[in-house]
Amino acid sequence: MKIICKIALSFLVVISLFNAEIFACTTFCLKNKGEVLFGKNYDWMIGDGMVFVNKRGIEKSALVSGNETAARWISKYGNVTFNQYGRDNPSGGMNEAGLVIELMWLEETQYPKTDARPVVDVLEWIQYQLDTSANVGEVIKNSEAVRIASPVKLHYLVNDKAGNSATIEFLDGKLVAHTGENLAAATLTNDTYEKSLNYSKATTPEKAKTESSLDRFTRAAGKTKEFAQKPKTEQEAVNYAFEILSNVAQKNSTQWSIVYDQTRGKIHFRSMQSPAIKTIETKSFDYSCANAVKIFDVNSKEAGDVTTKFADYTRAANRDLIERSFSGTPFLKVVSSASRDELAQFPENFVCEGVQASRKPQLATAQNTQPEHGFLYHALEYVGKLIGVV
């Protein structure tokens, strides 16, 4: 345990060496007389990614290491997610109930200490919630059923189809959710919501001109309030969201800009590598378990409606994504080929509810001396090799 803690600490040291703007994601929610949209800039060091169409009615489990108990659940809702580190490890997405969840870095994050609850990783938490929650209230309730085990410090913005929003943060080992009257601005960047809101109260959007987290929050929050004051058509609303994303974008690190039209079940997105806007009609997909998972390259040169351009999932495509993303992420480059193979294969153990799997996911137990290792374990493994403790 001491070695793992030492590795985790060193992992965070390595992360801190990167330019802060790499982690400078921005999210916000727009609401006005039936229009409900969610905007997200994904800022990171690489832009590889796939859009996944995930099915309902699938028995799933988290991928854990050590003696942790993996969370298990059945997906109630199909969903469309944006993934960079392989299937079922999304950075965000929207489910068929219209719920959207997206992540951002937060240095102040402290997850709950070890307890009896089953464990998920920070990315699996998003998949778990999109699979099992239809609205903000259910996300908060379901958050209490699992525990995040990770050295990666994130917080989340959540919005449902009815326009209910929530920030989900883990501060001093406790879940802190701002929602309803306690959420004056449905916006989140890379400081705690409370700190960001206090800053925005003392700073006008006109003076918040830098790329800092607090200034980006202030500008985005101001724009969300303006949106609520004047009705807009569908296209005007989408354009407005992209204008905000452009305003808070980071020149060298905004890889994806995404607008979720929760009212209509549409997703519009563009990437640094492929700036033409693409649209997905999420209601057009058949999410029944018997159908294949679908995939689409985030950086495809296609434009316009790409709903029919999705292909059936293959392990080769998932493995290729993992290869590109791990090789492009400095602290994951040394993860072995065998480990990458394992990560690519793991989700294929998931089966439709009630169907006997040919090989159930191997879950870590006290008697299991060869546990499965999750995505973040390999980040720690890499840092461990750097400091000579593994």
Where on the phi/psi map is residue 98: left (φ > 0), alpha (ψ -120 to 50), or beta? left
* Cα separation values, 267 from 44, 215, 221, 308, 342, Å: 20, 27, 21, 14, 31
Range of the domain at 187: 2-387
Q: Do 199 and 212 contact (CB within 8 A), yes or no?
A: no
Which residues of the chain fall short of a pLDDT of 70? Answer: 1-23, 356-390
Which pLDDT belongs to residue 16?
45
Dihedral over alpha carbons 8, 11, 13, 16 (to 10 degrees): -130
Q: Rounded to whole angstroms, how far apart are CA atoms 49 and 376?
A: 18
Write the DSSP assignment of 142-155 as a string of letters.
Answer: HHTT-EE--SS-EE
Q: Rounded to whole angstroms, how far apart are CA atoms 296 and 309?
A: 7
One-letter identity of residue 84: Q
Q: Rounded to whole angstroms, how far apart are CA atoms 320 and 15?
A: 24
Burial class (CB in 10 A: 0-12, 13-18, 19+), 204: exposed
Q: Do 38 and 159 contact (CB within 8 A), yes or no?
A: yes
Which pLDDT belongs to residue 66?
74
Which pLDDT belongs to residue 254?
97
φ, ψ for residue 364, nearest 5 deg: -70, 130
- Rounded to 10°, the helix 315-328/337-345 angle is 130
Q: Starting at the earlier edge strand, list the strands of the sheet with 72-74.
A: 72-74, 58-61, 351-352
Q: Show the CA angle centred on residue 216, arms to residues 166 and 161, nearest 5°.
A: 30
Pairing relation of β-strands 119-120 and 147-148?
Answer: parallel
φ, ψ for residue 65, nearest 5 deg: -135, 165
Nearest to 86 by CA among 313, 322, 255, 314: 322
Q: Which residues contact 154 (CB under 8 A, 6 or more apart)?
A: 103, 104, 105, 106, 109, 122
Provide the CATH number for the domain around residue 252. 3.60.60.10
DSSP state of 361: P
One-letter identity of residue 316: A
Which pLDDT belongs to residue 384?
43
Which pLDDT belongs to residue 67?
82
Q: How many domains would you assign to the chain?
A: 1
Its sign, for the CA torsion 79, 80, 84, 90, is negative
Which pLDDT belongs to residue 136?
98
Which pLDDT belongs to residue 6?
36
